[in-house]
Structure 1
Amino acid sequence: MANGWTLERRQRQAELIRSWRPWAKSTGPRSLEGKKRVSRNAWKGGHRAELRELSMMVNEHVRLSRELANRCR
């Protein structure tokens, strides 16, 4: 009862939700904007791998630049 919901209240709410059946009435997004937004619901990112690859490329270029500079001395 940390959040104020007693067992009876939980059971009553569960019964009400089962009688309302909101999941049966859902039609999903209708507009293109809404469809675009929900199409990315499960997307978790991917920037980390891209940043790691970019960092490795930059580090390689820095290393090659230093080698080239050392050869010119």
Structure 2
Amino acid sequence: MSAWSEERRQRHAEAIRRWKPWEKSTGPRTTEGKRRVAQNAYKHGGRSASVIALEKLMSALARNEREARLLV
């Protein structure tokens, strides 16, 4: 694995700023590509069953706390 020198890194950064590849990005075009990127939010478990269950539990706890405060 070759490490880039600081000079090479700077030249590459300048070239990327000139090319601006992000301006040409179109995102997925095919139905399959769109289907795949639609699942990106699920990739790292942020919408897993355990996280959803925890969110429901925290919501119920907050609701119970609000109700308890009304009794005081």
TM-score range, shorter chain: 0.5 to 0.7
CA–CA distance in structure 2, aligned partners of residues 7 and 26 of structure 1 = 28
Give the drift of 1:20: 0.8
Question: Does residue 5 of structure 1 match 2:34?
Answer: no
Amino acid at match of 2:9: R
Off by >2 Å, runs of 4+ in structure 1:
none
Aligned-pair identity in percent equals 55
SS of the aligned residue for 2:40 comes to: coil
Residue ranges of structure 1 left out of the alignment (5+ in a row): 53-73
Question: Does residue 29 of structure 1 match 2:40?
Answer: no
CA–CA distance in structure 2, aligned partners of residues 5 and 40 of structure 1 = 34
Q: What is the aligned length?
A: 49
Higher RCO (Cα < 8 Å, 6 or more apart): 1
**TM-score, normalization: structure 2?**
0.57
RMSD of aligned alpha carbons: 2.3
CA–CA distance in structure 1, aligned partners of residues 2 and 38 of structure 2 = 33
**TM-score, normalization: structure 1?**
0.57
The higher radius of gyration belongs to 1
